[in-house]
C-alpha cells in the first residue's frame, strides 16, 4: 500500500488525527483508492463514516429550520427533528415514503416542473396552524474524475427541501395591514356617522309626527298606513343599528375595568339571549370552573363580545344544535371556550374570518367577530379558532389575569 493510502488507515473507531465533522478530503481519497484498501481496514473506515453521519445528523437536528431530503422521485430519504415537528411526522414511518403522500395538498409534480430552484409559501393546519416557506433545491453529484460527464443533464440524485417558519412574520405583516385598514375605516366612520346619522334622526322625528296625525285618520284607512309606517320605522332602526355596529367595530373605546367574575358574565350573556336560544331550539351546556380568579375587565364590553360569539354560534347551527361553554385557566390566562355543532369554517376562509364585512351567512354584517377581536385585544387577550368543517367551530377567548396586585384569601386558605 502506498504512503498516501496508508495515511487513510484507521486505528480504533476514528483513526489517528481524527477531528469531528465531515472531511470531504477523506471521502474523496477513500473513493479514489477504494480498490486498494486492505480488507482489515474496511471496518475502521465504516466506523468513521458512521460517526461522521451521526455528527451531521446532530447538527441538522439542532437547527430550527426543517430539512427534508428526497430522491429524484420525491421519496423521503432524510428529515430532521424540526421537519417532523412542523408536520407532525414520525421519522421512521416516513423513510422511503413519497413526500406528497405525507404532506397532503403538496403537488410535487407541479413543483418539479417549476424550475431548478423553487420557493413557495404554504399554509399548514396540522399539528398547528402555521405558515412556512417551502424552498426546494435539486441535488447533483460532482463529476467523478475520469468519468465522462453526462450530456443529457446533471447527475441529479434528489432534492433538498428547506422549511422556514414564517408564521410570526406573516402575522406581523397582517396586523400592520389590519391596522392600516382600521385607520382608514375610522376616518370613514366619522363621515358615515355624520352623513347618515343626522338624516336618520330627521326621518325618525318625521315618522313620529306622521304617526300622531295618523291617529286622527278613520280606522278603516289607518291600518294600511300604520303598517307602512311600522316598516319604515323598522328599516330606520336597522340602518341605525348597522351604523352603530360599524362604529363599535373600529372605534377604540375606553375600558372601565374592574375585577369581575367571568363565569357570572358568561351566565348573564346566555340569560340575556335565552329567548333566542329557545326560539332556535339550541341546547347550551355549561362547564364553568369554580376556582377562577377575578379578572380586570370592562363588564359591558366583554358581555358584548360574548353576545356576538353566542349569536354567531346560534346562527351557524340548525335547530337542535348544541353549544358547549367551558371556562378554564392556565398559568397566565383565564380561558372561555365556545364549541358549537355548526358547519365550521373552511380552511381557505380561516384567514379571512376577522376581516371587515367577511361573512359566510346570507344576512350577516361581517362585523361581529371583528368587534369581538377588538374588545379582547383591548383587554390584552387573545383569540384561538379551531374548525372542523362540517362539524363545528371552537372559539377560545384568553384573558390575562396576572396583572392582579392582590386577592383576598378565604379564612383558613393557605398559599
pLDDT at 8 over 60: no
- Mean predicted confidence (pLDDT) in 112-135: 78
List Cα–Cα distances, 154 to 35, 76, 112, 160, 260, in angstroms.
Answer: 26, 21, 15, 16, 69
Q: What angle do CA 189, 190, 192 make, to 5 degrees?
A: 60
Strand order in the sheet with 392-400: 283-288, 322-329, 333-340, 392-400, 382-388
Domain range 258-400, CATH architecture: 2-Layer Sandwich (3.30)
Helix (H) / strand (E) element for 143: namely none
Q: Is the dihedral of CA 331, 333, 334, 339 positive or negative?
A: negative
Q: Which of 32-36, 301-305, 322-326 has the lowest mean pLDDT?
A: 32-36
pLDDT, tens digit, 9 for 90 and up, residues 147-193: 555 544 557 788 888 888 888 887 777 777 766 766 666 666 666 66
Query: Cβ of 49: how many Cβ atoms within 10 Å?
Result: 14
Give the pLDDT band (50/70/90) at residue 116: confident
**What is the C-alpha separation between 76 and 91, in angstroms, rounded?**
10
The pLDDT of residue 27: 57
Q: Give the burial class of 296: count Cβ atoms within 10 A of its Cβ; 0-12 exposed, 13-18 middle, 19 or more buried.
A: middle
**What is the C-alpha separation between 263 and 184, in angstroms, rounded?**
36
Give domain limits for the chain.
1-62, 63-143+152-165, 182-250, 258-400
Of 392, 386, 282, 388, the C-alpha closest to 341 is 392
Of 204, 209, 279, the C-alpha closest to 243 is 204
What is the DSSP code (8-state) at residue 20? S
Give the pLDDT band (50/70/90) at residue 263: very high
Asked, as a colleague might, if the bond just before 127 is cis with ω within 30 of 0, I would say: yes
**What is the C-alpha separation between 34 and 55, in angstroms, rounded?**
23
The pLDDT of residue 112: 73
The pLDDT of residue 1: 38
Strand order in the sheet with 130-140: 76-79, 66-71, 156-165, 130-140, 118-124
pLDDT at 359 over 50: yes
The pLDDT of residue 11: 36
If DSSP states are collapsed to H, E and C, what string results for 296-357? EECHHHHHHHHHHHHHHHHHHCCCCCEEEEEEEECCCEEEEEEEECCCCCCHHHHCCCCCCC
Q: Which of 155-169, 184-198, 220-234, 326-340 has the lowest mean pLDDT?
A: 184-198
In this structure, whether the domain defined by 63-143+152-165 belongs to CATH 3.30.450.20 is answered with yes
- Mean predicted confidence (pLDDT) in 208-213: 84
Amino acid at each position: 500500500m502506498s504512503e498516501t493510502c496508508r495515511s487513510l488507515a484507521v486505528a480504533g473507531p476514528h483513526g489517528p488525527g481524527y477531528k469531528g465533522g465531515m472531511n470531504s478530503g477523506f471521502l474523496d481519497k477513500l473513493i479514489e483508492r477504494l480498490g486498494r484498501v486492505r480488507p482489515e481496514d474496511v471496518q475502521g473506515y465504516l466506523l468513521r463514516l458512521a460517526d461522521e453521519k451521526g455528527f451531521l445528523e446532530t447538527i441538522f437536528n439542532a437547527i430550527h429550520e426543517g430539512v427534508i431530503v428526497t430522491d429524484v422521485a420525491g421519496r423521503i430519504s432524510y428529515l430532521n427533528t424540526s421537519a417532523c415537528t412542523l408536520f407532525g411526522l414520525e421519522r421512521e414511518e416516513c423513510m422511503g415514503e413519497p413526500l406528497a403522500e405525507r404532506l397532503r395538498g403538496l403537488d410535487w409534480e407541479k413543483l418539479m416542473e417549476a424550475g431548478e430552484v423553487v420557493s413557495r409559501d404554504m399554509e399548514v393546519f396540522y399539528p398547528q396552524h402555521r405558515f412556512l416557506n417551502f424552498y426546494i433545491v435539486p441535488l447533483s453529484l460532482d463529476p467523478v474524475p475520469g468519468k465522462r460527464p453526462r450530456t443529457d443533464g446533471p447527475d441529479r440524485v434528489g432534492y433538498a427541501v428547506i422549511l422556514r417558519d414564517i408564521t410570526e412574520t406573516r402575522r406581523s405583516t397582517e396586523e400592520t395591514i389590519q391596522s392600516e385598514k382600521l385607520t382608514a375605516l375610522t376616518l370613514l366612520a366619522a363621515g358615515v356617522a355624520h352623513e347618515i346619522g343626522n338624516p336618520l334622526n330627521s326621518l325618525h322625528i318625521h315618522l313620529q309626527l306622521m304617526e300622531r296625525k295618523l291617529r286622527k285618520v278613520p280606522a278603516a284607512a289607518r291600518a294600511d298606513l300604520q303598517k307602512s309606517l311600522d316598516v319604515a320605522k323598522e328599516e330606520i332602526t336597522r340602518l341605525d343599528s348597522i351604523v352603530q355596529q360599524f362604529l363599535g367595530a373600529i372605534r377604540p373605546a375606553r375600558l372601565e375595568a374592574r375585577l369581575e367574575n367571568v363565569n357570572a358574565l358568561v351566565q348573564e350573556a346566555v340569560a340575556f339571549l335565552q329567548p333566542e336560544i329557545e326560539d332556535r331550539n339550541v341546547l347550551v351546556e355549561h362547564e364553568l370552573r369554580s376556582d377562577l380568579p377575578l379578572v380586570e375587565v370592562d363588564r359591558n364590553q366583554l358581555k358584548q363580545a360574548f353576545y356576538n360569539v353566542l349569536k354567531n354560534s346560534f346562527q351557524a347551527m340548525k335547530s337542535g344544535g348544541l353549544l358547549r361553554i367551558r371556562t378554564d385557566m392556565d398559568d397566565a390566562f383565564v380561558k372561555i371556550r365556545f364549541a358549537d355543532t355548526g358547519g365550521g369554517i373552511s380552511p381557505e376562509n380561516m384567514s379571512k374570518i376577522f376581516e371587515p364585512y367577511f361573512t359566510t351567512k346570507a344576512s350577516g354584517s361581517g362585523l361581529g367577530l371583528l368587534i369581538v377581536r377588538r374588545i379582547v385585544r383591548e383587554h390584552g387577550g387573545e383569540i384561538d379558532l379551531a374548525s372542523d368543517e362540517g362539524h363545528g367551530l371552537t372559539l377560545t377567548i384568553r384573558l390575562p389575569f396576572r396583572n392582579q396586585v392582590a386577592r383576598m384569601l378565604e379564612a383558613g386558605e393557605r398559599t
